[in-house]
Each structure stands twice: as structure tokens, then as C-alpha cells.
Structure 1
Amino acid sequence: MPRPATAEAEIAEELAVVRPALLPAYREALPGARAAVLTRLWRGLTHDPLPWVTGREDTRSGVVLRLADGRRLEGPVPDPYATDDGVTAVRLDGTEYDDPARLMADLAVPHSGSLAGELAHSTASLALSRAGQRGLGGRAPVRDWEWEQRVVDGHPFHPNCRSRPGFSVAEQLAYGPEHRPVVELGLLPVPAGECLVSGVWPEWLRDGERVLVPVHPWQAAHVLKGAGASAREGTLAAHPLMALRTLALPDGPHVKTALSARLTSSVRDISLGSVAASAVLSDFGQAVAERTDGLLCITRTLGAVAAGSPNLTALLRESPEEYAGPGERAVPIAALQAAGLPRSPTRLARLARLALTACLRLLDLGVALEAHGQNLLVVLSPDGEPVRLVYRDLADLRVSPARLARHGIPVPDVPDRMVTDDPVVLRRKLFGSLVAGALAGTAGSGAALRAALEDAVRELPRTPDLAALLDGPLPAKALTLMRLSPGTAGDQWAELPNPFRFGPG
């Protein structure tokens, strides 16, 4: 049966015009991209608490989900910690599906139509991203952005791992880090009296009484439009990082720009509250990091500016390279495998021990980091051993006044959404990002994650937080459920099988 016109076909048509030489590689990448997105979707369907899944039966050959309308959805046994493209087809009432977008459309549950469109775009964009990596060669990355640009597949567990709605093919090629472009950030002059500035905004981004706000070209073209975006004063050449809206200057800090597009789950603006709190958070982060005895460093926010709207904001942050010594490399955990570093069980166990030691210590102090593979970096010695961690982007951490008070640490003046004493919320924040995210994504399977964690926890203090990790299910964001619940604010959660008891044995 021929495929109808889809995002796959639309991207192929655009690609034939803007980069025809890439078209054959794109077409070759499509089956693998469908399997990659279907694998992530199947993980969500089998583990997220979806209201229209009324039963689950584990069989020798796979899993059967019973739907509220009586239909049956069948597929292979899912490893919730696997990162391969292992699910190539599932069956809905006996009909086989290898296309995640078609499957979601035919499930016909609330909001499945909109998610089907996102999945189609994720599949096509992922194929484009994989095609763009062809011919990269074996040269090892040197600069920080080169490590990040090796991450092709995006989020290891989100079915919208490469969804970039609102981006044309030309824009994906021009701005997507995996395509290794140099992006010219515009510098929009705004009277200093109209700006909220936190920290120190540098002189090289000022023009007399005007503040020069770095503006992403996509934001200028699609969001700011007639808001003076064309009246820019020069440009900054920068290299896009995994976050797309954050870019590295060749010899300077990282620049986080406003980019009001939906990437994976949500539109990520830099809120006015985040700008106002950035200097306080930066100082607080530096202070608590000192209590890890050098195991973890937190990059400083140098300055932040908002020109009256979340659509026109920017933030300057230290490069993690500042925390790497001679011969060392600061590598995002999400980039470890993508950059071709070997998946060594011994080194994975050392990484897990380092990460759990540092992050559980901070959690006991009263700080829960959003330590996913993009925010958390590991500094590797010249021979590849993990020696310390670097954390960046404090916008989504959580702080506990009660825990901070026990250790004599003042509560920082941060937005209310960051403050909680609820241990469930604090543990979800850390364990969902670090264990179910960064470490699972690096391990690549439940068995490998289990082995690394068992080795890592042997010498850790038996705190209530560690007990919760050892004994209960592992919290993970219910990413598929969240995309099917557009009217529900905030995170929703799934409970994954405890990795310490995963699999046989």
C-alpha cells in the first residue's frame, strides 16, 4: 500500500530543492528512523499510565495491551532502558504497523491526531539528521560544540526525539547542531532603561546606553518579525549545541537565546522570572557545589537580559570547558556514545558512582538537579576516566527549605515553582533525570544499567533517598502521556521497573 503524502514526503520535496545531494541518504535513513521513533513510542505505550489502556498481559513473545474499546495492541517485550531501534513493528487488532505516526492516528484516542503529526515530523527530521552525519569520518571532537554535534538522535526515550515543527528543511540544516552549521546571531539594540538585567552584562554587548541582545535568526524571522528585529547591530558567529537555542561562541561563553518553538515536549522560553533569578541561582549553585569536595562543578551564569518579553531574552553562561584541565575533556553524558566512546562496563560503573555520590549529596543538602544527559557533563581524563562532573542550566532545579535549613544554608530567592519539601517531588526530579535519563541512556539496556548501579551503590551512605532508589519503582517522565494531555500543566510520571531488579537473576 503506497504511503500517503506525509512529513517524510514533504521533507524529501524540500530537500530536493535545497540540498539534493542529501536526498539518497535521507531516503535510506527513513526505515531506521521509523523504528527509532516507534521504539520510543512503544516504551511510552507500555509504561506510561495511559487512561485508555485497561490491561496488560506479558507473554513469551511479547506484550499485549488491552484498550478501553476492546482492541488489542501487541508488540515485543519492551526494555524501558534500551536505546536501540529494536521495535520495527507492532500490531493493532492484527494489523501490523511499522510507522509510529500511522499507529497513533489509528489508535484514535484523545489528542492522538496532533501527536501523530508530531511523530511524523520527528521521524522525518530524524532521518534528515542521520543523513546529515554521513561522511563525518573518524576525527575525534576537540571543542565542546563538536562533542554535542555528534548527538544525532536527540532524546533517547522521547518519541518526539527530533520533532522540530515550524522549521523548514533549510532551517534545520542551517540551525540544527547535528548538521554542524555556524549560526549568525543578530544583535538587537534595546535602550538599557527598557531591559531587565541580572548579573553583569558585558561591555562588548553594549552600545553606549543600549544593550545588545543576541537574537536567534529563527526567532527573528518567525516570532519577532516587525518588532525591530531587522534593526540589528552586527552579528555573533556561534556553534549550536544540543539544546539548539544555546550556542557556543568560538572563544567565549555559551549564549542561551529565546527560541519560541516547540521542541520535543514544550515551548522553551526564558521567562522573566528566570532572568531575574539567574544571578542569585548562579551564586547559590556555586556555593552548594563547593560542598561536593570537587566531585561536581556548576557553570556560572555571567549575565542575563530580558527586553520586556520572554520572546526577547538572552543569557550568557560559562562554557563547561572552563572546568576541564590540560588534556581533559568535558563531555555531555548524552554525547558519550554518540561521540564514539566505547561502552565500557567498568567506566559506566565509575560514572554512575561519581554521579550518584555527587547528586545524592546535593539532594541531602536540599538541591535536586535536573541531571539529564544534556545538563550533566563528565570531565574525562586524557585516558578516558571520569574524574568530575559539570552541571549547567539551573532553571529547572528544585530546592528544599527544610533540608537546606538542616545544613545551615539560606534559602535563595528563587521562583516559587522551584521550592518544595516534598521528598517525592525532589526524588522524581533527580532520579527521573539522572538514573532513568542520563545513566540509562548511556547504559543502553536494563541489564547494563543494573550492573552499573549495583557496583555504584556499594559504598554509598544508606540515606532515605538512596533507599527510595533501591527499593521502589524508578520514576520517569511519562513523555507520551504528556503529549496526549495538552490540557494538563506540569510533568506527569510513569513508574519503571526497578533497575536493581531488572531482568533475570
Structure 2
Amino acid sequence: MHRPRAAEAAFAEELAVVRPDLVSRYTAELPGARAAVLSRLWRGLTYEPLPWVAAREAGREGLTLRLTDGRGLHGPHPDPFATDDRVTVVRLDGVAHDDPARLMTGLGVPHGAEFAAELADSVVSLALSRAVQPPRSKEWPVRDWEWEQRVVDGHPYHPNCRSRPGFSVAEQLAYGPEHRPLVRLGLVPVPAGECLVTGAWPSEMRDGERLLLPVHPWQADHVLKRPVTEGLDAHPLMSLRTLALVEGPHVKTALSARITSSVRDISVYSIGMSATLSKFAETLAERMDGLLHFTRTLGAVTANSPDLAAVLRESPQVYGDRVLPVAALAGTELPRSPAWLAEFARLALTVGLRLLELGVALEAHGQNLLVVLSESGAPIRLVYRDLADIRVSPARLARHGIPVPALSGRVVTDDVTTLRRKLLGSLVAGALAGTAGSATALRGALETAVRDLPPTPDLAALLEQPLPAKALTLMRLSPGTPGDQWTELPNPLA
């Protein structure tokens, strides 16, 4: 093993200044955080189409990757849907690695050094996130933002599950939802004539002829580089840049930092489409027999810049007292029941495949998709938020007599592969797999759920074809390739 680890030591030194009481707990969490990130990285190495992996050889004692330079990388047999921290060591030409950043550096592949730095950041941030957690209360949260702040480990499959480059230790503690802070958003005045506005911008966020745009304090300090004094108190949600106002709706802010894969700004394009998409979603919900609601976009503004924009959205709690993002289910007892998991899978697939047949593919991962639970914990309906990355098929809409909304750009496509990847890659390989936590549990839930689904070509694709999933590791190692890249996972129903 390699010692010392510079990133971990530097993080500890900074932590000792701002929260000395957490240093020992942070240090104790480091081995588990390394295993969590290494497990996600090993999944990517074993299943994604990486150009420097020549072959994959399964043996009785694990899997060996044959690299194009002749070296071998050996690790345990991977479960593509596992969410535990089962991979603690892999061996590169016989040398043991328990540190994902060191492993990536040792591989010496193109763009590996940059990715290694992100992996190191993911490890230390994850260790800090775990270190601050209080004992889990048996009482279920009352507010929607309390559910979101219970998601500690971030993305269940992305090696950069907690990577927050550009955030100091103090800023992570001040802004990370799992640290449960109260964040003071700034209000930046911008002349209304210089803004693109869709929907209704509230009077309390106006000052005469100027609009007051909520700004994340990290964005104000690092990107806008301007002091902001007036503001609103808010609770950060899973995505970090979206917050629940103490008095008011949810607000999505521009945050020009790379979190997991993407820089979290808000494009002018998405602002322009927001009102049309929100109204369109309301018409779709009417066709879903009460099984699905969309959070309405109340207003959206950009000062013609992705760095200065905001979206106001109603809280999902409008649609139920007990509503939580699917990603938070893993922290409850519910998914441990095969019957409950099958019931949830049936609900999610019924909604997702019905919408896909009509012509809309949701990006229904564990952050965008929420479930409303009954008092007994049964899943009764779904809520979907953030319409910016859905895909809409005009041809399918027309086939079902649904008026085609005035949309343009990346949202619009009739390509069947794109539509199916969007839904199945997010819902099945993402939300359902992450909730199940293993291939065995996912297979059992899907086998039960699909029996009751109406036959469609999209269902046939789910039953018969490999499961699409975003190639998250490949994407981080391909900075010059825009957009999503994909891989195929073994079909749990095969």
C-alpha cells in the first residue's frame, strides 16, 4: 500500500483549523471512503468500453483486465448493481492498491492524472460526510429537505460520488446538504430589461425595475466575485445547488463548479424552455391516473449568462406529506423487503414506460424521481422534478394525439435508442438498481413487476436487450467528448 496520501493529509490539516473535533472521526472514516470510491471505480473499469482495456477474463478467483500495454489488473467478480463498499483492494501487475487515486495514477492512461485528483477529492469529501453523521433517528423526517439531507454517500455508482473540487473544507461544511447547514443565499439586482424571464417572477424578488436573482454564496465568492449582503435562508438539497427556502419554494441556483460529472450552471436554453416544459408536464400528469405529478416551475430568470440565473420550483411536498427522493430510500428499512421493492418497481416502470410510449423519456434517477409513501410506507405515487434533461419525441406524441409543444434543441428527438437510454439508464440502471443494491435483489423486483405491465416495444427492449447505463468513468477520462457516453450492463432479467 502507498503511504502517505497527500490529499488526505492536506484535508486533515485544513479540517484541524475549522473543526478540530472532527479530525479523528474523519481519519477513522478514510478506509471506508477509499473502499466506497474504489468499488465504484472498479465497476466502471470492468463494464465500460475503455480504449486501453484489451480483454476481460473471468476466473474462479475474480476478474482480470488485460491492458493494451500488456499489464494485468485483477479484482473481485463485479456486481454491476451493488451499492456496498465491497472492493477493498485491486492488484495492478501484482501490486496491491486500496486507494482509487493511486490506482488511477498507476494506470497511466490519458487524462488519468486529472481523474485521479477528482478521485482523491471524492475520498476525502466522503470521509468528512460520513464523519459528521449523528446516530440515525428511527423517526421519519417531516420536511422534504430533511429526507434529502440523509443522503450521505452521493451517487451510488459514480467514482466521483462526493467530489467537490474548488470547495474548501469550510465551504463543504457550510454548504453540503449532508452537513445540514442553513445557507444564506444572496440576492443580486439585475435590470429587468437585461434578463430573460419565463413564468412569473415573484414580487418579493423584485426591486422596482430590477429583478433580484438568488445566488449561491459559493458562486458569489468564486465566480461572480462580488459581495452579497441581502439574502434568503435556505436548506440545501441533494444537488447542492438547489435549496428549499425557509419561507417559500425550492430554488435552483447557478453553481459553476464540477460536482460528480457536470458543471452546475443554468443554461440560457433551459431558462427559455422552462415554462413551456412545465405547462406540457401538467398535461402529461393528467394522463397518468394520479400516479405521477410534476413539480411546477414557478419562474425562471437568467441575466443572459449561465453563471447568473435561477429557477423557482414548487416543493414536492405539495403532493404528499411523506415524499422523498428515491436516493433516500436506501437509508430506510423499506427496500429490504422483496415485496416492497417489487411494488415500487411496478409503480416506477408503469409510469416510466407509459410516458415513454406516449413520447416522453424521463431522466428518472434517484435525485429527480421522488416517491410518495402512505402512512404504512407503501409507495402510492411518484413525483418528478427538473424537466431540463427529459427527451420529447414529436412522432410518438403525434401518434397518440398529443399536441406537440413548442420545443427545440436537445430536448427534442425521435431516436429510439436515445429515448430508451434516457429512461432505462436512469430508472432501471439508476434509481431501481440503487434502491435494490444488488443484481439479485434487482432481478427479483423486476421479475415480479414486469408481469403486470402492458406489452410494448420498449418493454420488450427492457426484457431482451442489455441494460444501458452512462459510462461515468469513461466520460471523466474523455474531457474532449461532449455529452453522455454509454455502456451496456448485463440484463438482470436475462
For Structure 1 versus Structure 2, the TM-score category normalised by the shorter chain is over 0.9
Corresponding residue for residue 285 of structure 1: 281
Corresponding residue for residue 402 of structure 1: 395
Corresponding residue for residue 153 of structure 2: 153
Q: CA separation in 1, counterparts of 2:460 and 2:135?
A: 47
1:418 aligned residue (405, 411, 420): 411
| Shift in Å, 1:54 | 0.6
Greater mean alpha carbon deviation, residues 414-423 or residues 477-486: 414-423
Corresponding residue for residue 452 of structure 2: 459
Q: Which amino acid aligns with 2:301?
A: V
| Shift in Å, 1:252 | 2.0
TM-score, normalised via structure 1 length: 0.96
Residues 347 and 135 of structure 1: CA distance in aligned 2, closer, same or farther (over 3 Å): closer
**1:39 matches 2:39:** yes
Q: CA separation in 2, counterparts of 1:137 and 1:369?
A: 33
| Shift in Å, 1:416 | 1.2
Report the 3-state secondary structure (helix = DSSP H, G, I; strand = E; otherwise coil) of the residue aligned with 1:142: coil
C-alpha deviations, 1:435-470, integer Å up to 9, x for none? 000000000000000000010000111100000000
| Shift in Å, 1:4 | 3.5
Corresponding residue for residue 236 of structure 2: 240
TM-score, normalised via structure 2 length: 0.98
| Shift in Å, 1:136 | 5.3
Corresponding residue for residue 219 of structure 2: 219
Q: Which amino acid aligns with 1:421?
A: D
Q: CA separation in 2, counterparts of 1:447 and 1:441?
A: 12
Corresponding residue for residue 80 of structure 2: 80
* Contact persistence 1:376–1:390 (CA under 8 A): yes
1:489 aligned residue (446, 460, 482): 482
Corresponding residue for residue 317 of structure 2: 321
* Contact persistence 1:6–1:120 (CA under 8 A): no
Corresponding residue for residue 347 of structure 1: 340
Q: CA separation in 2, counterparts of 1:454 and 1:86?
A: 26
2:353 aligned residue (326, 350, 360): 360
How many residue pairs get aligned? The number is: 494
* Contact persistence 1:141–1:339 (CA under 8 A): no
- Map 1:368-447 onto structure 2 (within 5 A): 368-447=361-440
Q: CA separation in 2, counterparts of 1:384 and 1:140?
A: 10
| Shift in Å, 1:340 | 5.3
* Contact persistence 1:147–1:339 (CA under 8 A): no
Q: Which amino acid aligns with 1:320?
A: P
| Shift in Å, 1:283 | 0.2
Report the 3-state secondary structure (helix = DSSP H, G, I; strand = E; otherwise coil) of the residue aligned with 2:446: helix
| Shift in Å, 1:383 | 0.7
Runs of 4+ in 1 over 3 A off after TM superposition: 134-139, 339-342
| Shift in Å, 1:288 | 1.0
Report the 3-state secondary structure (helix = DSSP H, G, I; strand = E; otherwise coil) of the residue aligned with 1:499: coil
**1:333 matches 2:326:** yes
**1:298 matches 2:310:** no
- Map 1:88-127 onto structure 2 (within 5 A): 88-127=88-127
Q: CA separation in 2, counterparts of 1:342 and 1:371?
A: 18
Q: CA separation in 2, counterparts of 1:476 and 1:387?
A: 27
C-alpha deviations, 1:310-352, integer Å up to 9, x for none? 100000001000011xxx4111000012255452211111110
| Shift in Å, 1:421 | 0.7
| Shift in Å, 1:60 | 1.1
**1:51 matches 2:51:** yes
| Shift in Å, 1:3 | 1.9
Q: Which amino acid aligns with 1:407?
A: H
Corresponding residue for residue 67 of structure 2: 67
Q: CA separation in 1, counterparts of 2:425 and 2:136?
A: 33
* Contact persistence 2:186–2:228 (CA under 8 A): no
* Contact persistence 2:334–2:340 (CA under 8 A): no
Residues 80 and 470 of structure 1: CA distance in aligned 2, closer, same or farther (over 3 Å): same
| Shift in Å, 1:289 | 1.7
| Shift in Å, 1:175 | 0.1
**1:230 matches 2:227:** yes
Q: CA separation in 1, counterparts of 2:211 and 2:77?
A: 56
Q: CA separation in 1, counterparts of 2:309 and 2:365?
A: 24
Residues 46 and 231 of structure 1: CA distance in aligned 2, closer, same or farther (over 3 Å): closer
| Shift in Å, 1:191 | 1.2
* Contact persistence 1:152–1:338 (CA under 8 A): no
Corresponding residue for residue 182 of structure 2: 182
Corresponding residue for residue 200 of structure 1: 200
Q: CA separation in 2, counterparts of 1:87 and 1:415?
A: 44
Q: CA separation in 1, counterparts of 2:406 and 2:107?
A: 46
| Shift in Å, 1:135 | 4.1
C-alpha deviations, 1:199-233, integer Å up to 9, x for none? 000011111111110000000000000xxx3255x
Report the 3-state secondary structure (helix = DSSP H, G, I; strand = E; otherwise coil) of the residue aligned with 2:311: strand
Corresponding residue for residue 272 of structure 2: 276
Report the 3-state secondary structure (helix = DSSP H, G, I; strand = E; otherwise coil) of the residue aligned with 2:287: helix
* Contact persistence 2:335–2:436 (CA under 8 A): no
Residues 372 and 342 of structure 1: CA distance in aligned 2, closer, same or farther (over 3 Å): closer
Q: CA separation in 2, counterparts of 1:5 and 1:458?
A: 51
Q: Which amino acid aligns with 1:217?
A: P
* Contact persistence 1:258–1:313 (CA under 8 A): yes
**1:260 matches 2:253:** no
Q: Which amino acid aligns with 1:386?
A: P
Q: CA separation in 2, counterparts of 1:121 and 1:84?
A: 20
Report the 3-state secondary structure (helix = DSSP H, G, I; strand = E; otherwise coil) of the residue aligned with 1:371: coil
| Shift in Å, 1:5 | 4.5
| Shift in Å, 1:6 | 2.2
* Contact persistence 1:372–1:434 (CA under 8 A): yes
Tell me the C-alpha RMSD between the 2 structures.
Answer: 1.1
* Contact persistence 1:150–1:339 (CA under 8 A): no
Q: Which amino acid aligns with 1:336?
A: L
Q: Which amino acid aligns with 1:97?
A: H
Q: Which runs of 5+ in 2 are unaligned?
A: none
Q: Which amino acid aligns with 1:116?
A: A
* Contact persistence 2:297–2:312 (CA under 8 A): yes
Q: CA separation in 1, counterparts of 2:72 and 2:228?
A: 58
Report the 3-state secondary structure (helix = DSSP H, G, I; strand = E; otherwise coil) of the residue aligned with 1:337: helix
Q: Which runs of 5+ in 1 are unaligned?
A: none
Q: Which amino acid aligns with 2:377?
A: G
Corresponding residue for residue 477 of structure 1: 470
Report the 3-state secondary structure (helix = DSSP H, G, I; strand = E; otherwise coil) of the residue aligned with 2:153: coil
- Map 1:157-176 onto structure 2 (within 5 A): 157-176=157-176
Q: Which amino acid aligns with 1:125?
A: S
